[in-house]
Structure 1
Amino acid sequence: MLELRPGCECCNRDLPPSSREAMICTFECTFCADCARAVLGGICPNCAGELVRRPVRPPTALARHPASTVRVFNPDCRNRQAG
């Protein structure tokens, strides 16, 4: 099950579970759509994987399986090489 991390690792923008602006890689690194496109070129700086839109968990499922509250923030993501 996806963690649904609460924010962009690059700019720290809030990304609630209902956000359609959240992008993830296969390791669930999480970025906002703006950083994913403009800063990262659609590639995760941590694993070099493709960034795709994170699915939205329905409210009933979210009640049973809440989103993560652990925030990952790496402000230097703009300077890192993928891989």
Structure 2
Amino acid sequence: MLELRPNCECCDRDLPPHSDQARICTFECTFCADCAEARFHGVCPNCEGDLVARPIRPDSKLHRFPASLRRVNKAHTACARPPPAAAPGSGRDGWSVTL
């Protein structure tokens, strides 16, 4: 089952379970559409796999199968540049995981 991480790993933008702006790879690395396209050109900076639209879990299933609360941030070289205009925030140094 998909973890449905709550944020962009690069700019820390909130990506709630119903967001159509979430992009993931096969390892569930999660990015917002702005970072996935403008910074990484549709390729995951971690595994080099495709970044595709994350499926939306129906609200009726979120109670039994909730989205993750674990926030993941990793400083990618591309995250050190100013974010794309539509993406607030910026990258951070190193890994940061918040529960």
Q: What root-mean-square deviation, in Å, do the aligned CA atoms of Structure 1 and Structure 2 show?
A: 1.1
In structure 2, the residue matched to 1:38 is 38
Q: Which residue of 2 aligns with 1:74?
A: 74
1:45 positional shift: 0.4
User: Which structure's residues are more often strand, by fraction?
Assistant: 2
| Unpaired segments ≥5 residues, structure 2 | 80-99
Count of residues in Structure 1 that have an aligned counterpart in Structure 2: 79
The residue number in structure 2 matching 1:23 is 23
CA contact (8 A) 1:45 1:77 kept: no
Alpha-carbon distance change, 77 to 66 in structure 1, aligned in 2, over 3 angstroms? farther
For the pair 1:52 / 2:52, whether they are aligned, the reply is: yes
Identity %: 63
Amino acid at match of 1:52: V
Q: Distance in 1 between matches of 2:31 and 2:12?
A: 8
Bigger RCO of structures 1 and 2 (CA < 8 A, at least 6 apart): 1
Tell me which amino acid in the other structure corresponds to 1:43: V
Structure 1: stretches of 5+ with no match in the other structure: none
Q: Which has the larger radius of gyration?
A: 2
How far apart are the structure 2 equivalents of 1:77 and 1:63? Answer: 37
Q: What residue identity is the alignment partner of 2:11?
A: C
The structural deviation recorded for 1:75 is 3.1
Code of the aligned partner of 1:2: L
| Higher percent of residues as helix | 1
Extract structure 1 runs of 4+ deviating beyond 4 A.
Answer: none
- Report the residue type matching 2:76 in the other structure: D
Residue 10 of structure 1 contacts residue 77 of structure 1 at CA under 8 Å; is this kept in 2? Answer: no
TM-score (norm 2): 0.77
Amino acid at match of 1:45: P
